[in-house]
Structure 1
Protein backbone atom coordinates (compact mmCIF):
# COMPACT_ATOMS: atom_id res chain seq x y z
CA UNK A 1 0.00 0.00 0.00
CA UNK A 2 2.72 2.49 0.94
CA UNK A 3 4.49 2.05 -2.42
CA UNK A 4 1.45 3.47 -4.26
CA UNK A 5 1.43 6.50 -1.93
CA UNK A 6 5.18 7.07 -2.32
CA UNK A 7 5.00 6.70 -6.11
CA UNK A 8 2.29 9.36 -6.27
CA UNK A 9 4.23 11.57 -3.86
CA UNK A 10 7.38 11.44 -5.97
CA UNK A 11 5.40 12.66 -9.00
CA UNK A 12 3.60 15.44 -7.12
CA UNK A 13 6.44 16.62 -4.84
CA UNK A 14 9.38 16.54 -7.22
CA UNK A 15 9.83 20.32 -7.02
CA UNK A 16 9.68 20.90 -3.26
CA UNK A 17 12.84 23.00 -3.02
CA UNK A 18 15.11 19.98 -3.49
CA UNK A 19 13.91 18.36 -0.27
CA UNK A 20 13.19 14.64 -0.13
CA UNK A 21 9.82 13.46 1.17
CA UNK A 22 8.75 9.94 2.13
CA UNK A 23 5.45 8.43 3.29
CA UNK A 24 5.20 5.72 5.92
CA UNK A 25 2.11 4.20 7.52
CA UNK A 26 1.43 4.74 11.20
CA UNK A 27 -1.70 3.24 12.73
CA UNK A 28 -1.12 5.12 16.00
CA UNK A 29 -1.78 8.61 14.61
CA UNK A 30 -4.46 10.39 16.59
CA UNK A 31 -6.58 12.99 14.85
CA UNK A 32 -6.06 16.58 16.02
CA UNK A 33 -3.00 15.60 18.06
CA UNK A 34 0.18 15.74 15.96
CA UNK A 35 3.58 15.59 17.68
CA UNK A 36 5.30 18.91 18.44
CA UNK A 37 6.66 20.58 15.27
CA UNK A 38 4.52 18.33 13.09
CA UNK A 39 1.55 19.41 10.97
CA UNK A 40 -1.63 17.50 10.25
CA UNK A 41 -3.81 17.27 7.19
CA UNK A 42 -7.08 15.31 7.19
CA UNK A 43 -9.02 14.35 4.12
CA UNK A 44 -11.18 11.57 2.77
CA UNK A 45 -11.88 9.71 -0.40
CA UNK A 46 -13.59 6.72 -1.95
CA UNK A 47 -11.93 3.33 -1.42
CA UNK A 48 -12.78 -0.34 -1.80
CA UNK A 49 -12.64 -2.98 0.92
CA UNK A 50 -12.49 -6.78 0.93
CA UNK A 51 -13.38 -8.94 3.91
CA UNK A 52 -10.54 -11.30 4.78
CA UNK A 53 -13.06 -13.83 6.18
CA UNK A 54 -15.95 -14.10 3.68
CA UNK A 55 -14.27 -12.29 0.73
CA UNK A 56 -17.22 -9.87 0.42
CA UNK A 57 -16.26 -6.57 -1.24
CA UNK A 58 -17.76 -3.14 -0.75
CA UNK A 59 -16.97 0.47 -1.41
CA UNK A 60 -17.16 3.51 0.81
CA UNK A 61 -17.07 7.11 -0.33
CA UNK A 62 -16.06 8.36 3.09
CA UNK A 63 -12.77 6.79 4.06
CA UNK A 64 -10.95 9.12 6.41
CA UNK A 65 -7.21 9.63 5.89
CA UNK A 66 -4.90 11.46 8.31
CA UNK A 67 -1.44 12.70 7.35
CA UNK A 68 1.09 13.98 9.89
CA UNK A 69 4.12 15.62 8.30
CA UNK A 70 7.36 17.27 9.31
CA UNK A 71 10.30 18.77 7.44
CA UNK A 72 13.73 18.39 9.02
CA UNK A 73 15.30 21.50 7.51
CA UNK A 74 18.97 20.70 8.31
CA UNK A 75 18.78 17.29 6.57
CA UNK A 76 16.23 18.44 3.95
CA UNK A 77 14.23 15.30 4.70
CA UNK A 78 10.46 15.38 4.97
CA UNK A 79 8.53 12.62 6.68
CA UNK A 80 4.85 11.95 6.20
CA UNK A 81 3.02 9.53 8.48
CA UNK A 82 -0.21 8.17 7.07
CA UNK A 83 -3.20 6.58 8.75
CA UNK A 84 -6.11 5.29 6.71
CA UNK A 85 -9.07 4.39 8.87
CA UNK A 86 -10.44 0.89 8.39
CA UNK A 87 -13.87 -0.66 8.04
CA UNK A 88 -15.33 -4.02 8.92
CA UNK A 89 -17.61 -6.37 7.03
CA UNK A 90 -21.27 -5.95 7.91
CA UNK A 91 -22.10 -9.63 7.35
CA UNK A 92 -19.42 -11.39 9.43
CA UNK A 93 -19.95 -11.93 13.16
CA UNK A 94 -16.22 -11.89 13.93
CA UNK A 95 -15.38 -9.21 11.38
CA UNK A 96 -11.86 -7.84 11.31
CA UNK A 97 -10.81 -4.29 10.53
CA UNK A 98 -9.93 -4.21 6.83
CA UNK A 99 -7.56 -1.79 5.13
CA UNK A 100 -8.95 0.44 2.36
CA UNK A 101 -7.78 -0.02 -1.22
CA UNK A 102 -7.56 3.37 -2.94
CA UNK A 103 -7.42 3.62 -6.72
CA UNK A 104 -4.40 5.28 -8.31
CA UNK A 105 -6.63 8.22 -9.26
CA UNK A 106 -7.93 8.73 -5.70
CA UNK A 107 -4.45 8.31 -4.23
CA UNK A 108 -3.13 10.94 -6.64
CA UNK A 109 -5.91 13.38 -5.68
CA UNK A 110 -5.25 12.91 -1.96
CA UNK A 111 -1.50 13.35 -2.44
CA UNK A 112 -2.05 16.43 -4.60
CA UNK A 113 -4.06 18.02 -1.78
CA UNK A 114 -1.45 16.92 0.76
CA UNK A 115 1.38 18.51 -1.24
CA UNK A 116 -0.56 21.80 -1.41
CA UNK A 117 -0.87 21.63 2.38
CA UNK A 118 2.86 20.87 2.73
CA UNK A 119 3.67 23.88 0.52
CA UNK A 120 1.58 26.08 2.80
CA UNK A 121 2.74 24.75 6.19
CA UNK A 122 6.42 23.97 5.49
CA UNK A 123 7.35 26.49 2.79
CA UNK A 124 4.97 29.40 3.36
CA UNK A 125 3.55 29.07 -0.17
CA UNK A 126 -0.12 29.74 -0.68
CA UNK A 127 -2.07 28.51 -3.68
CA UNK A 128 -3.94 31.18 -5.57
CA UNK A 129 -7.66 31.49 -4.92
CA UNK A 130 -8.64 29.54 -8.05
CA UNK A 131 -6.56 26.52 -7.05
CA UNK A 132 -7.61 26.84 -3.44
CA UNK A 133 -11.33 26.74 -4.18
CA UNK A 134 -11.02 23.81 -6.58
CA UNK A 135 -8.95 21.98 -3.99
CA UNK A 136 -11.91 21.77 -1.62
CA UNK A 137 -14.71 21.14 -4.10
CA UNK A 138 -14.41 17.34 -4.05
CA UNK A 139 -17.69 16.49 -2.37
CA UNK A 140 -17.93 12.94 -1.12
CA UNK A 141 -21.18 11.19 -1.94
CA UNK A 142 -22.26 7.60 -1.91
CA UNK A 143 -22.39 4.76 0.60
CA UNK A 144 -20.94 4.91 4.08
CA UNK A 145 -21.90 2.55 6.89
CA UNK A 146 -21.12 4.32 10.14
CA UNK A 147 -21.71 1.19 12.23
CA UNK A 148 -18.75 -0.49 10.48
CA UNK A 149 -16.38 2.49 10.21
CA UNK A 150 -13.36 2.64 12.54
CA UNK A 151 -13.30 6.45 12.50
CA UNK A 152 -17.01 6.61 13.38
CA UNK A 153 -16.53 4.15 16.23
CA UNK A 154 -13.74 6.33 17.60
CA UNK A 155 -16.03 9.37 17.31
CA UNK A 156 -13.77 11.18 14.87
CA UNK A 157 -15.38 10.55 11.49
CA UNK A 158 -16.31 13.98 10.24
CA UNK A 159 -18.47 12.37 7.59
CA UNK A 160 -20.69 10.08 9.64
CA UNK A 161 -24.15 9.58 8.21
Structure 2
Protein backbone atom coordinates (compact mmCIF):
# COMPACT_ATOMS: atom_id res chain seq x y z
CA UNK A 1 0.00 0.00 0.00
CA UNK A 2 2.80 2.46 0.86
CA UNK A 3 4.34 2.05 -2.60
CA UNK A 4 1.08 3.11 -4.29
CA UNK A 5 0.98 6.28 -2.20
CA UNK A 6 4.71 7.04 -2.63
CA UNK A 7 4.41 6.52 -6.39
CA UNK A 8 1.48 8.96 -6.57
CA UNK A 9 3.51 11.55 -4.62
CA UNK A 10 6.58 11.03 -6.88
CA UNK A 11 4.40 11.72 -9.93
CA UNK A 12 3.60 15.13 -8.43
CA UNK A 13 7.21 15.98 -7.45
CA UNK A 14 7.52 18.74 -10.05
CA UNK A 15 4.68 20.56 -8.28
CA UNK A 16 6.62 20.18 -5.01
CA UNK A 17 9.58 22.22 -6.23
CA UNK A 18 11.54 19.05 -7.02
CA UNK A 19 11.85 18.21 -3.33
CA UNK A 20 11.68 14.60 -2.19
CA UNK A 21 8.63 13.65 -0.14
CA UNK A 22 8.16 10.28 1.58
CA UNK A 23 4.91 8.70 2.75
CA UNK A 24 4.74 6.64 5.92
CA UNK A 25 1.69 5.15 7.58
CA UNK A 26 1.16 5.97 11.23
CA UNK A 27 -1.91 4.77 13.11
CA UNK A 28 -1.02 6.97 16.07
CA UNK A 29 -1.68 10.34 14.43
CA UNK A 30 -4.87 12.09 15.46
CA UNK A 31 -6.84 15.08 14.21
CA UNK A 32 -5.37 18.30 15.51
CA UNK A 33 -2.49 16.36 17.07
CA UNK A 34 0.21 17.71 14.80
CA UNK A 35 3.73 18.21 16.06
CA UNK A 36 5.15 21.77 15.98
CA UNK A 37 5.89 22.81 12.40
CA UNK A 38 3.68 20.10 10.92
CA UNK A 39 0.44 20.67 9.01
CA UNK A 40 -2.72 18.59 8.76
CA UNK A 41 -5.16 17.72 6.00
CA UNK A 42 -8.20 15.46 6.44
CA UNK A 43 -10.13 13.98 3.54
CA UNK A 44 -12.33 11.03 2.75
CA UNK A 45 -12.69 8.58 -0.09
CA UNK A 46 -14.37 5.43 -1.32
CA UNK A 47 -12.58 2.21 -0.32
CA UNK A 48 -13.24 -1.49 -0.01
CA UNK A 49 -12.67 -3.80 2.95
CA UNK A 50 -12.31 -7.56 3.37
CA UNK A 51 -12.99 -9.28 6.68
CA UNK A 52 -9.96 -11.30 7.77
CA UNK A 53 -12.28 -13.78 9.51
CA UNK A 54 -15.17 -14.54 7.12
CA UNK A 55 -13.63 -13.00 3.93
CA UNK A 56 -16.77 -10.89 3.39
CA UNK A 57 -16.14 -7.83 1.18
CA UNK A 58 -17.89 -4.51 1.66
CA UNK A 59 -17.45 -1.03 0.35
CA UNK A 60 -17.67 2.29 2.12
CA UNK A 61 -18.20 5.54 0.36
CA UNK A 62 -16.53 7.67 3.02
CA UNK A 63 -13.31 6.39 4.57
CA UNK A 64 -11.52 9.06 6.57
CA UNK A 65 -7.83 9.73 5.89
CA UNK A 66 -5.64 12.05 7.98
CA UNK A 67 -2.41 13.45 6.56
CA UNK A 68 0.26 15.17 8.66
CA UNK A 69 3.03 16.74 6.61
CA UNK A 70 6.28 18.59 7.21
CA UNK A 71 8.97 20.09 4.97
CA UNK A 72 12.51 20.13 6.33
CA UNK A 73 13.72 23.15 4.37
CA UNK A 74 17.37 22.53 5.34
CA UNK A 75 17.41 19.16 3.56
CA UNK A 76 14.62 19.87 1.03
CA UNK A 77 12.94 16.65 2.18
CA UNK A 78 9.32 16.29 3.14
CA UNK A 79 7.54 13.74 5.27
CA UNK A 80 3.89 12.78 4.94
CA UNK A 81 2.32 10.66 7.67
CA UNK A 82 -0.93 8.98 6.71
CA UNK A 83 -3.61 7.34 8.81
CA UNK A 84 -6.40 5.55 6.98
CA UNK A 85 -9.25 4.76 9.33
CA UNK A 86 -10.43 1.17 9.49
CA UNK A 87 -13.78 -0.57 9.61
CA UNK A 88 -14.98 -3.88 11.00
CA UNK A 89 -17.23 -6.55 9.55
CA UNK A 90 -20.81 -6.20 10.74
CA UNK A 91 -21.41 -9.95 10.53
CA UNK A 92 -18.57 -11.27 12.71
CA UNK A 93 -18.86 -11.18 16.50
CA UNK A 94 -15.09 -11.04 17.00
CA UNK A 95 -14.48 -8.72 14.05
CA UNK A 96 -11.17 -6.92 13.75
CA UNK A 97 -10.70 -3.43 12.38
CA UNK A 98 -9.69 -3.97 8.75
CA UNK A 99 -7.46 -1.79 6.56
CA UNK A 100 -9.15 -0.02 3.63
CA UNK A 101 -8.22 -0.83 0.06
CA UNK A 102 -8.42 2.33 -2.05
CA UNK A 103 -8.73 2.21 -5.84
CA UNK A 104 -5.57 3.63 -7.46
CA UNK A 105 -7.68 6.40 -8.99
CA UNK A 106 -8.74 7.55 -5.52
CA UNK A 107 -5.18 7.45 -4.17
CA UNK A 108 -4.22 9.70 -7.09
CA UNK A 109 -7.04 12.16 -6.31
CA UNK A 110 -6.30 12.18 -2.57
CA UNK A 111 -2.61 12.83 -3.30
CA UNK A 112 -3.51 15.56 -5.80
CA UNK A 113 -5.57 17.32 -3.14
CA UNK A 114 -2.84 16.79 -0.53
CA UNK A 115 -0.20 18.23 -2.86
CA UNK A 116 -2.35 21.35 -3.21
CA UNK A 117 -2.40 21.69 0.59
CA UNK A 118 1.37 21.14 0.74
CA UNK A 119 1.93 23.81 -1.91
CA UNK A 120 -0.22 26.29 0.02
CA UNK A 121 1.21 25.52 3.48
CA UNK A 122 4.86 24.63 2.89
CA UNK A 123 5.59 26.71 -0.22
CA UNK A 124 3.14 29.58 0.50
CA UNK A 125 1.58 29.34 -2.98
CA UNK A 126 -1.80 30.92 -3.67
CA UNK A 127 -3.76 28.31 -5.61
CA UNK A 128 -7.13 30.04 -5.45
CA UNK A 129 -9.93 27.58 -6.24
CA UNK A 130 -7.78 25.22 -8.33
CA UNK A 131 -7.45 22.69 -5.50
CA UNK A 132 -11.10 21.61 -5.85
CA UNK A 133 -10.98 20.15 -9.35
CA UNK A 134 -10.72 16.36 -9.05
CA UNK A 135 -13.59 13.99 -8.39
CA UNK A 136 -13.15 10.83 -6.39
CA UNK A 137 -14.14 7.53 -7.97
CA UNK A 138 -17.26 6.58 -6.02
CA UNK A 139 -19.26 3.58 -7.13
CA UNK A 140 -21.62 2.83 -4.26
CA UNK A 141 -24.73 4.15 -2.64
CA UNK A 142 -26.12 3.25 0.73
CA UNK A 143 -25.92 3.88 4.46
CA UNK A 144 -22.76 4.46 6.41
CA UNK A 145 -22.21 1.78 9.08
CA UNK A 146 -21.28 4.04 11.99
CA UNK A 147 -21.23 1.18 14.50
CA UNK A 148 -18.39 -0.44 12.55
CA UNK A 149 -16.36 2.65 11.61
CA UNK A 150 -13.18 3.42 13.56
CA UNK A 151 -13.43 7.14 12.77
CA UNK A 152 -17.01 7.23 14.10
CA UNK A 153 -15.88 5.49 17.31
CA UNK A 154 -13.30 8.26 17.72
CA UNK A 155 -15.82 11.01 16.90
CA UNK A 156 -14.05 12.25 13.79
CA UNK A 157 -16.00 10.72 10.92
CA UNK A 158 -17.61 13.27 8.61
CA UNK A 159 -20.52 10.89 8.00
CA UNK A 160 -21.41 10.81 11.69
CA UNK A 161 -21.89 14.57 11.84
Question: What CA RMSD, in Å, does the superposition of the two structures yield over aligned residues?
Answer: 1.8
Distance (Å, rounded) in 2 between the aligned partners of 1:139 and 1:57: 18
User: 1:155 matched to which residue of 2?
Assistant: 155
User: 1:46 matched to which residue of 2?
Assistant: 46
* Cα-to-partner distance string for 1:87-109 (whole Å, 9 max, x where unaligned): 00000000000000001000000
Distance (Å, rounded) in 2 between the aligned partners of 1:32 and 1:139: 27
Distance (Å, rounded) in 2 between the aligned partners of 1:159 and 1:20: 34
User: 1:134 matched to which residue of 2?
Assistant: 133
User: 2:115 matched to which residue of 1?
Assistant: 115
Q: 1:102 and 2:102 equivalent?
A: yes
User: 1:14 matched to which residue of 2?
Assistant: 14
- Seen in structure 2, the aligned counterparts of structure 1 residues 57 and 41 have a Cα distance that, compared at 3 Å, is same
Give the alignment's TM-score, normalised by structure 2.
Answer: 0.92
Give the alignment's TM-score, normalised by structure 1.
Answer: 0.92
Secondary structure, counterpart of 2:65 in structure 1: strand
Distance (Å, rounded) in 2 between the aligned partners of 1:86 and 1:71: 27
Residues 36-115 of structure 1 correspond to what in structure 2 (within 5 A)? 36-115=36-115
Distance (Å, rounded) in 2 between the aligned partners of 1:28 and 1:132: 27
* Cα-to-partner distance string for 1:112-155 (whole Å, 9 max, x where unaligned): 000000000000112133x24435x7697733211100000011
Is the contact made by 1:34 and 1:68 (CA closer than 8 Å) also made in structure 2? yes
Paired residues, number: 159
Distance (Å, rounded) in 2 between the aligned partners of 1:126 and 1:142: 35
* Cα-to-partner distance string for 1:37-71 (whole Å, 9 max, x where unaligned): 00000000000000000000000011000000000
Please list every run of 5 or more consecutive structure 2 residues that lacks an aligned counterpart in the other structure. none
User: Shift of the alpha carbon at 1:15?
Assistant: 3.5
Please list every run of 5 or more consecutive structure 1 residues that lacks an aligned counterpart in the other structure. none
User: Shift of the alpha carbon at 1:18?
Assistant: 2.2
